[in-house]
Amino acid sequence: MWLTAGEAIERLSIKPQTLYASVSRGRVRAKPDPADPRRSLYSAADVERLAARRAGRPSAREVAADAIRWGEPVLPSAISTVIEGRLYYRGEDAASLAETATAEDVARLLWAADGPLELGSTKLAAAADERGLPALFSHLAAVVTVAPHSRGLGERALIIEACRVLAATANVLCGPGAEPIHMRLARRWGRADAAELLRRTLVLLADHELNASTFAGRVAVSTGASLPAGMLAALATLTGPLHGSAALAARLLARRAGEIGASAAISERLAEGRAVPALGHPLYPDGDVRARALLAAFQPPAVYRDLAAASEDTVGEAPNVDFALAALADVLALPETAPVELFAMARSVGWLAHMLEQAQSGALIRPRARYVGRRP
């Protein structure tokens, strides 16, 4: 069953912008109205679920079920967290770190390493003729069965293995060399003048608590699988349009906005029942601090400034870091796949930190399913 916008707004007692925000966040499904393609219909089941949640305290089963979808924390971690709208890496403000730190500095911090990291190892980092995500997938798949299982490795051995995996990732995504990762990326894309912007981006995207790709990597390593196996799981998860590929959708939206205007491009997506990409974030009700820190470092193209203003007016959501990443890629004229590659390179540091923490805990991640199928 589907509801009109007016019916959904009345049932939830909310403003239209709040309904659009729920669609953008994937909480309420929408589809074009067959009778009028300019309008949308909204899932009655999703609306009723939200209404019930607003009306009273959820049951223990509902709390458990929602814990893996922006719910309560589900496992302990000392790596990163969001507190009052600020992102912290082991207690250090990430936006402040981004002013001067490198990806290598953040790796040492997040991995709780005692000394400098040896990232020059080539045991798992043979130079590849091709660059980009397909090459990285191929490389990880080739080494996943020969790399040592994470279970049973001591703390020092795990860090050495993490160094090898990060070195391999940097070699494939950035090209071989002894320079810092951000300088190698700048050289690969022919934008030596953008090295500082890339450095800042790598730090801001290094980790973000227990997001989907990080959780996937932790689940893999919790079984005792190798760190490359965990990286492969995390990388595959990152490619989804609700995660690392959101910036690619934002670039497409910006191009459409350049053709018909920002407000019209946003209205067009909403009328088609599609969420507006790269807006809002449940952990940042007052705006994504990572997006602010990145957008403050350069002048976004005019079309992105128009989209940000139109989004606030239409959807009631501010741009998130995926939006900032898309704007960065466009202002630097980077290749089409650059945003997700930059995201993957940055987040590799955090993925490995979480895998190290998970391996050292020795715990298996194995939640239960709440069965809703036919009774036997």
Q: Report, as residue numbers or ranges, the catalytic residues.
A: 281, 322
Q: How far apart are CA 162 and CA 352, in angstroms?
A: 6
103: nearest Cα among 183, 197, 181, 193: 181
Q: How far apart are CA 168 and CA 231, in angstroms?
A: 11
Query: For the chain, how big is the Rg over CA atoms in Å?
Result: 22
Q: How far apart are CA 241 and CA 248, in angstroms?
A: 8
Return the bridge partners of 3, or none.
Answer: 42
Q: Which two tokens stand for residue 171?
A: 């070699």
Q: What is the edge-to-edge ordering of all strands in the sheet holding 30-33?
A: 2-3, 36-43, 30-33
Provide the terminal-to-terminal Cα distance of the chain, rounded to the nearest Å.
28
Strands 36-43, 86-89: parallel, antiparallel or unpaired by DSSP?
unpaired
Return the bridge partners of 139, or none.
Answer: none
**C-alpha separations of 275 from 3, 241, 249, 269, 309 in Å:** 17, 11, 10, 7, 17
Strands (E), 28-153: 30-33, 36-43, 80-83, 86-89, 92-93
Q: How far apart are CA 91 and CA 207, in angstroms?
A: 13
